[in-house]
Every structure is written in structure tokens, then in C-alpha cells.
Structure 1
Amino acid sequence: MSYKKLVQFGLVMLVYLLVGGQTALAAQSIKIGGNYELSGAAAAYGQAMKDGLDLAIDQVNQNGGLLDGQSVEAVVYDNKSDLTESASVAQRLVTEGVVGIVGPATTGNAQAEIPLITKGQLPTVLPAATGDTITLDDQGKVLDYLFRVCFADSYQGIAAAGYAHDQLKAQKAAVVVDTTSDYATGLADNFKAKFQALGGQIVLEDSMAAGDVDFSVIITKLLNQDVDVIYMPTYYTEAGLFIHQARELGIQTPILGGDGYSSQILTQLASNEYANEIYYTDHFSLVSEDKTVQDFIQAFKDKYGKEPGAFEALGYDAAMVLMDAIERVGTTEPQAVKEALAQTKDYHGVTGTFTMDENHNPLKTAIVVQLEEGQVVAADNYEVSDSKSN
């Protein structure tokens, strides 16, 4: 081959490689990381949120993907409901080239990943970590790369107290709290403060711990007290067992809790006959008449053959908000994406319409769900106004 032909051949190959390389780059998918509790104590939450994430990505891909046709791919790992594993998963996702993370589900596991996503400058959206100050560092400064789509514990506790006082006409309350859980103590502290500010009286306080299965001592104390409502902000397993035992022993007092009640496991453990006059603050309701919510419910049923709950909805909204930010800003560059997340305004999700505040928390109303015979019979929007807040 002559020198001239060799040069021409080289130019042809160069063009081919350049075009081929561009095509390959265009074909690359945008990776969204999932740090979820797929096993362990909080597996029901993590799996639900993963289902929401997967549905969100399916819908985005069916509608043409992101950024001029790039498909989206979920890269999800199991943190095993463990703090150390949560940090390890976050580090793995940082090094694997994801453009953002959704999850973990719980406040404790989310806190474990914060140093990794902060150092890695990776935009992260928490679906359901409700700890009051989780989006702030130790000095009270907002964490640039951390956001959430759920309301905080203080809001849930205040809303529950307001609802108990205003709607259930309660004047005397008992509070049973898991003292080993920041989630439970956060809700309980704010419930007590708000209920007392409204003129209510806390006549009994007692403690429990995660993993407890026998609540007979607490129930005996409750049987000897005149209370209008029992506030027990814990997770679905202990709540379900408590409800069953309390009702079986004759306590008919309304029982209130937080979004930790939002699982079919609660009603399975409580049994339908005992799951009456149960109320809990939540983020989502199947009985909503909002078209966005009903479309989501139908899409979820089509994909999974069952109805979604609050944690599926929160997982969906967290993923959608992250992808919406990427699309709005037109890039996956972390600095730009986190700024777009911070500027989220009037986003109409399936858990409500919300705007991110200066601390990366969504401004939204709470829903108070009522169970009768194990079924949701009502879901009331309850807004904590400035005049009612502490």
C-alpha cells in the first residue's frame, strides 16, 4: 500500500472510530443508584421503594428517556438494613458512575451514607428518611447534595397531635415510645409538645424497644388509665402486635402512629377484626381522587399486580424528582443537578404537590389515614398552619 493510500485509510478509520465512539456514547444509559433495605428489619420499606423506582424508570424510558433519548438504568444494591452496609453501598455507587442516588429508606441508614455522598458530590434524594435534621450538618448548615420528598418527624408528630385534638376531640393521651429509635422519639416529643400546647394532657408515658413482642405490661397500665387516645409511633411489626394484644384485652381507645404503620404487615399482625380506630400520618392514599395519583396506582397494578402503598409512592416520587431535575437542567453534571433539585417548585407528585424549602425539605400537607377492620376507610389532608404550630 502506498503512503498516500495508507494516509487515506488511516483517515477513514479515524472517522469511523470517532463516529462509532460518539454512537457508543449516545447509547450509554444514565445510571440511577438505589441504596435500599432489600433484606433485614426494614426490608418491607426498601423493596417497596425499589418497586417505585423501577416503575418510574420504566415510564421515563417508555417516554423516550432523558436528555435527547438516553435510556435510564437502575443500579440497586441491598444495604441489608444495616448502617455499615448502607455506607458501603453508597461508596460503591459513588465509584460506579451513577448520576444520583435514591434511598436508603430509614433515617439511620440515610445518615450512614451522608459522608460518602457529600465527599463524592453525588445528588441524593431520600424517599422516607423523616429525621428532623437529616438534611443539615452538625453546624446546622444545609447539606448541598442531600434532599428528601417526605415530611419530617416533627411535622408528623405535630400533625398527629392536631388531628387527635381537633378531629378526635381527645383531651387525654398516652404516649408509648421506642426509646431506642430516633424516629420514634422525634415523633413522640413533637406530639407531646403540640398536644399540650393545644390544652391536652399526657396522662401516661411508657417505653418499648424494637423487637418487643409482649406488650402486656404496658397494656395493663393503659387499662388502669382514662385516656382518649394512644400515640405509639413505631414501625409496623411492633405496632401490629401491640394493636392485636391491646384490642384482645379490651382496649378500644383510638391508636395513632406515624408512617411506620404504612404496611400490610401491620394489619396481618393485628388481624382485621382488631385493626379498628387506627390512625396514622402518611404521605399517600389510594382513595385520593387526584388523576396523577390514580394513574400511578393503575400503572403500578399493571406492572406488579397489586396496589401500591406510601413507600412505593415515595420511592417513585424520589426517582421522578431526581430525573426531573436532570431533564430540566439538561445535564447529569452533579453541581447542576443538585442546584436544579434545590429549585424544585410546585412539583406535582403522587405524594402531593411540593416545593423544596431552603433546607431541602418538601413543603407539603400530611395525610391522616384511618383503618377500620384492617381497611383504609378515610384519608384526610391535615395541614399544620402557623397558628397551630409550636
Structure 2
Amino acid sequence: MQNLSVNRRTFVAGTAGLGLMGALAGCSGGDEGAAGSGDAASGAFKLGGIGPTTGGAAIYGNACKNGAQIAIDEIAAAGGDVQFEMNFQDDENDAEKSVNAYNNLKDWGMQMLMGTTTSTPCVAVTAESNADHIFTITPSGSSTDCIGGQPDADGNVATPRKDNVFQMCFTDPNQGAASAQYIAEQGLGSKIAIIYKNDDTYSMGIRDTFVTKAEELGLDIVSESTFTEDSQTDFSVQLNDAKNAGADLVFLPIYYTPISLILTQANQMGYAPKWFGVDGMDGLLTVEGFDTSLAEGCMLLTPFVATADDEATKAFVSTYEENYGETPNQFAADAYDCIYVLKQAIEQSGVTSDMDASEICDGLMEAITSPDFSYTGLTTAGEAATWSDTGEVSKQPMGMVIQDGVYMPLDA
């Protein structure tokens, strides 16, 4: 784990400037399949993308697809030797379908992969891309098993290091430990409850390191309860356990759809603790039929705040809203950054689009792990991000709170 120091100043630092191009070349918002700049000039790198564009997690996959497309179109508008043709495949947040999508992309001639969007499919797909030696950067697959080689709390390594795979997002351990540290430093709760999903790699990974860090910091965890994919409609047992234990803060290392139900049911039973989530909470305000007033005051850890006032963020948000009719979330920003990281690594390594995927992978791996490689973008909190040979990104987290129906940076 890296960059776990999240004092009040660094936790809310704004994103850094990244010269966004004003002119865009025919943005393809997207039908699935090959989507690049117009017909994609010959010599463009063939970039695969995978994520859910339909189903319950579609908000994440579509955000990644759209954020990446904005970057691809900017690069095309600017000209230059590095261009991309993207083929983005829907996996419906299903591991088997994700592997099928990966094989479709291989048949298409994919030379590098941005994906997958969600952790469980990402674990399955990166096993394939590692065997094929295809360079992979995931915008949001945060499980340590996506990159492999990471020991658990007992020091055991379940998945060997996949040396071709790198993350743009924080790892689950990073999110869990940083959340515990921030809650402790700011005195946000004296008694903590945790509700997590025990059949989800993402949720369990964050929960485990949150608990480890909380114990180290002396946080009092008074209630822990779980749910599964088949039981995420009724949270009365979990909420009553937290309420009866006197929890004044509930940590939610889960995605936004069950969070919306938890908040609704807590309100119905008159339970109003503080709520603290991680990047999976992003999207809460978009749930159909959800009373967004119940989200007021919810806090979450994230690498991106759409309301930040730096020029790069404002330009990205403006373009995204114009093209797609909604405000981008951190998944879109991470995918946007992935494209520029790829561009920078291509330029630094000198690989060309006439090389095969394995040769390109060698060059990009060497570039991104070199001591002189760093990247400053939308999701790096104003500081340069770097990558080690573990595949983890080292960058600063930020926090935001929902106020008046919008996400706002936590006050300094």
C-alpha cells in the first residue's frame, strides 16, 4: 500500500491541471465495437476496452467508455504520431462474459487493454491478458487480485503477480486503510458499524484492510454485518444490529445501489448515523426513484471531484456533460487518465503500432515502471502519480461529501 497519509489538507487537494484540448474530433459516444476518431487513421494503436454498458453496473462501464473516448478524441484533434482506435465490449459485470469479450477483442487484433471496469471480471480477464502478454491498465478494477502478487493480512499471496497489469485506481487495501485513517484523524465516529457484501471481492478487500487499520488506530467497531447478491433488498437486520450497538458512523465498502436501499430503510426506522463510503458510492445520486435528500452528508473517498475548480477538471466536465448529458463520475476520470498514461508510455518507450502486442507490452511495462515516469492528471490530486513493479498506482486520495444534492470537496 502506498500514500496512506491522508491528513486534512492532502485529503481534499484539488485535481491537477492537464491541458485538455478545446477542439474535439467527431466524438463517438458510442455504439459498441470499434470506436475511434472517425475511421481511425492507419497506424492507430488498437485499444480494447471492457466493462458493463448494460445491467446493474452499467453506470460504471459507460462512464469508463465515455471518459476514454473523450481523451481519444482530444488526442486525435491534437494530431501527432500516437493515435488510438478503441473497441469497447460489454461484459454486464459478469466474469464469464468478460472473458468472452476479451477473446472477441483478441480476434479483432487488440494491442493493449483498458479494463476491465469492475473487479471480479477484471480478475478473470487479467489472468488471460497475462498469459497472452498484452499490456493492461484498469481504470477501476481495484482488487489486489487484478494485479496479483499482493499478500493478504496473513501474508499469503493468493494470486501471483501479473506483471503486465497496472491500476489507475486505488487498490482496495488502500481505500480501506485510508478511510479508517481519515475517520480516526477527524473524529467522525466513536462507534463504527460496517455493512459489507461477503460474496464480492471488491467489498471484502476494502473491509479487511479497514478493520486492520481501525484496530491499529483504536477505532471501536461495534457491529459488522454482511449481505450477498441474493439478499441485497432487505437490510433491516444489518441496520438494527448497528443501531442497537450504538453505532454513530456506518462504513459502507459497497456499491451505490444497495447503499440507496440502506439509506432509505434507515430513514424509515429513524436511524441517522453518519455514512462513509468509498468509490463505489459514486453514482448514488443517479439511482432511479431514490430520495436524494437522504444522501445529504454522506462522505466518500474518491480520486476525483467533478466540482473542483481547476481548469482541467472544468474542461473535462464541460465536455462530458455536452457529449453525454450528465456529470462524469470518478470512473470516467480514471478512464480518461488511462488513455493519457498509455499515450505517455508509448511516447517514452518508442513502441509503434506495427509491433505485435507482446512487443508493445514489453515497452510499456518498462516505461511505466521506470524511475523517470510520472503522470499528473484529473485523478492525481495535483501531485504526480507513479507506478511500481507491483502494478499499484501511488497517488493521493481525496474526499467529498454530498451537499445540496451535489458532490463537494470536504472542507479543509
* Cα contact 2:222–2:242 (8 A) shared by 1: no
Query: In structure 2, what is the equivalent of residue 14 of structure 1?
Result: none
Query: In structure 2, what is the equivalent of residue 331 of structure 1?
Result: 351
Q: Larger Cα Rg: Structure 1 or Structure 2?
A: 1
Query: In structure 2, what is the equivalent of residue 74 of structure 1?
Result: 86
Could you say what secondary structure the match of 1:347 adopts?
A: coil
State the alpha-carbon separation in 1 of the partners of residues 346 and 63 from structure 2.
24
Match of 2:221 among 202, 211, 236: 202
Distance 1:159 1:93, change over 3 A: same
State the alpha-carbon separation in 1 of the partners of residues 115 and 41 from structure 2.
28
How big is the shift at 1:107? Answer: 1.1
State the alpha-carbon separation in 2 of the partners of residues 219 and 190 from structure 1.
22
Give TM-score scaled by structure 2 length: 0.80
Could you say what secondary structure the match of 1:80 adopts?
A: coil
Q: Deviations over 1:52-83 (max 9, x none)?
A: 1111110010010434xxx4211111122211
Query: In structure 2, what is the equivalent of residue 60 of structure 1?
Result: 75
State the alpha-carbon separation in 2 of the partners of residues 350 and 128 from structure 1.
14
State the alpha-carbon separation in 1 of the partners of residues 387 and 403 from structure 2.
34
State the alpha-carbon separation in 2 of the partners of residues 292 and 233 from structure 1.
29
- The alignment-based identity, stated in percent, is 27
Query: In structure 1, what is the equivalent of residue 201 of structure 2?
Result: 182
Match of 1:93 among 101, 105, 128: 105
How do residues 56-205 of structure 1 correspond to structure 2 at under 5 angstroms?
56-67=71-82, 71-137=83-149, 141-205=160-224
Q: Deviations over 1:352-383 (max 9, x none)?
A: 131012311110111122113432233469xx
Which deviates the most, 365-374 or 169-178? 365-374
State the alpha-carbon separation in 2 of the partners of residues 289 and 142 from structure 1.
38
Could you say what secondary structure the match of 1:281 adopts?
A: strand
Q: Deviations over 1:301-336 (max 9, x none)?
A: 333233211111011111221122112222233311
Q: Does 1:375 align with 2:411?
A: no
Match of 1:253 among 273, 282, 295: 273
Structure 1 counterpart of 2:291, one-letter code: S
Query: In structure 2, what is the equivalent of residue 350 of structure 1?
Result: 378
Query: In structure 2, what is the equivalent of residue 233 of structure 1?
Result: 253
* Greater RCO (Cα-Cα under 8 Å, separation 6 or more): 2
How big is the shift at 1:268? Answer: 4.8
Structure 2 counterpart of 1:125, one-letter code: I
How big is the shift at 1:269? Answer: 5.2
* Cα contact 2:285–2:405 (8 A) shared by 1: no
Q: Does 1:33 align with 2:48?
A: yes
State the alpha-carbon separation in 2 of the partners of residues 111 and 364 from structure 1.
22
* Cα contact 2:399–2:410 (8 A) shared by 1: yes
State the alpha-carbon separation in 2 of the partners of residues 166 and 41 from structure 1.
35
* Cα contact 1:241–1:269 (8 A) shared by 2: no
- What's the Cα RMSD here? 2.2
Query: In structure 2, what is the equivalent of residue 364 of structure 1?
Result: 395
State the alpha-carbon separation in 1 of the partners of residues 337 and 226 from structure 2.
34
Distance 1:33 1:195, change over 3 A: same
| Unaligned runs of at least 5 residues, structure 1 | 1-24, 382-390
State the alpha-carbon separation in 2 of the partners of residues 94 and 341 from structure 1.
23
Number of matched residues?
A: 354
* Cα contact 1:274–1:373 (8 A) shared by 2: no
| Unaligned runs of at least 5 residues, structure 2 | 1-39, 150-156, 353-359
